[in-house]
Amino acid sequence: MNYSIQHNIFHFKNPSGTSRGVLTEKQAWFITIWNEENPSVKGIGECSIIEGLSPDYVSNERYEAAIHLFCETYCKTAEFLETIEDFPSIKFGLETALLDLKNGGNGLIFENDFSINSKKIPINGLIWMGDQAFMEDQIEQKISEGFKTIKMKVGAIDFEKEISILSSIRSRFSKDELTLRVDANGAFTKENALEKLTHLAALDIHSIEQPIQAGDWETMRKLCKDSPLNIALDEELIGVNQIEDKNKLLDTIQPPFIILKPSLHGGIYGTKEWIELAEAKGIEWWMTSALESNIGLNAICQLAAEYTTNLPQGLGTGSLYTNNIESDLCVENGFIFKKKNEPAN
C-alpha cells in the first residue's frame, strides 16, 4: 500500500469572525492511499486543522511529520499507532482515505441513503461574528435561502447588541417558524454565564454551544443543571479520547446535547463512540464540520447519515472558500444532499 500527502490552503470568500479571531484562510492536508496492484483506485481523506483549537497541530513541520509517520506505519503494518488517538484530525483523514479506497475510490465513505439515494440532511445556517449590520445581513440572507435553523456566533460584539439582533429575529419568527441556536465558543465567564443564559432563554433560543471555556467541569455541570437554556458541549470534548474519560465527562456534566466534529473529537471511530455513549445516557447530539473542504465535508455528511436524528446538523460550510474542491454536494432550502448526475441528452 502506498500513500502521498498534499498541502492545501483554502481562502475564505469573506473574512469569518470567531471568538478566537478572524479567519481568512484554512490549511488542510490531503492523504491519498492506493494499493500497488491496483494504482488507479485511490482513496482520499482530509486532515483539516484550526490553529489555536486543533489539539494535534503545533506547526506545519511537526504536523506533516506526524501524517507521514501514521501513514507509513499503516501502509507497512495495516495497523494504527496507539498515539494516533492524540491526533484526531490526522486520524479522520486516514480513516476517510481507507474507507474511500475500500469502497472503490469515488468518495463513497459509507453506503447509505445520503450517499446512494441523495437523501437530504437538514442543516443550520451559520452566522459569522462581525458588526451588527454584517450579522443582520447574513441572517436575512440565510432566511431568504430557506433555512429553518440559524446558528449565530456570540461573544464578539456587545452582548446587548447581540440580544437586540436575536430579539429582532424572534419578533418576526416564532420558535416554531425558526429555530435559533447560538455558539459562544467559551466567551462567557463563570461569573456572568448564568445571567447571559437567562437573557438568551427569554428569546426561545434552542441551545447554546460551549458558554464558558472548556476544562471547568464543575462549573459546566452547575450551568447545565441551573440554566434555563439548553447547553451543548463542543470544545469540552476535545482531548477526551479514552472511553472511561468520555463516560466520566458525560456523567459529571450531564449536558442536554453534545456537538461532534470528527477532526476534533476522535476521527470517525471516536465520533461513533461519543454517539454510542451519549445515546445510552439520553444525551442528544448533532454533527458539524470543522471548516473542512468538500473532501472532509462529504465524509462527515455520510457519517451523519449513518444515524437517525431529526436535529439539523452543522454541515453548511461547503461554500466558504473561493478555491474549494469541486463536489456534488448541494445546499438548498436548509438541506444538504448529493446532486444526482443528470443523464446526457
* CATH number of domain containing 237: 3.20.20.120
Q: What range does the domain containing 13 cover?
A: 2-102
Q: Classify residue 107: in a domain, yes or no.
A: no
pLDDT at 343: 43
Q: Classify residue 343: in a domain, yes or no.
A: no
Any bridge partners for residue 8, and if so which? 28
- How deeply is 222 buried, as exposed, middle or buried, from its count of CB atoms within 10 A (0-12, 13-18, 19+)? middle
CATH number for position 55: 3.30.390.10
In a shared domain, residues 11 and 95 = yes
In a shared domain, residues 148 and 264 = yes
pLDDT at 82: 93
pLDDT band at residue 345 under the 50/70/90 scheme? very low
For range 66-88, the mean pLDDT: 96
Domain boundary residue, one of 45, 67, 102: 102
pLDDT at 344: 42
In a shared domain, residues 151 and 216 = yes
In a shared domain, residues 32 and 166 = no
Query: What are the pLDDT digits (tens) for 296-311?
Result: 999 999 999 999 988 9
Query: What are the pLDDT digits (tens) for 153-180?
Result: 888 778 999 999 999 999 999 999 999 9
In a shared domain, residues 248 and 284 = yes
In a shared domain, residues 72 and 28 = yes
pTM for this entry: 0.94
* Count of Cβ atoms closer than 10 Å to residue 132 Cβ: 14
Q: Classify residue 126: in a domain, yes or no.
A: yes
Supply the mean pLDDT for the chain: 94
In a shared domain, residues 311 and 236 = yes
Quote the cell numbers at residue 340. Answer: 444526482
Q: Classify residue 191: in a domain, yes or no.
A: yes
Any bridge partners for residue 5, and if so which? 31
Q: Classify residue 344: in a domain, yes or no.
A: no
Domain boundary residue, one of 73, 102, 131: 102
Alpha helices in 207-242 (DSSP H): 217-226
Q: What are phi and psi of 322, to 5 degrees?
A: -75, -25
In three-state secondary structure terms, 205 is coil
Q: Classify residue 345: in a domain, yes or no.
A: no
* Count of Cβ atoms closer than 10 Å to residue 13 Cβ: 11
pLDDT at 209: 96
Catalytic positions, please? 153, 261
In a shared domain, residues 50 and 131 = no
Q: How many domains does the chain have?
A: 2
pLDDT band at residue 207 under the 50/70/90 scheme? very high
Domain boundary residue, one of 102, 136, 165: 102
- How deeply is 151 buried, as exposed, middle or buried, from its count of CB atoms within 10 A (0-12, 13-18, 19+)? buried
- The Cα 199–Cα 134 span in angstroms is 23
Q: Classify residue 204: in a domain, yes or no.
A: yes
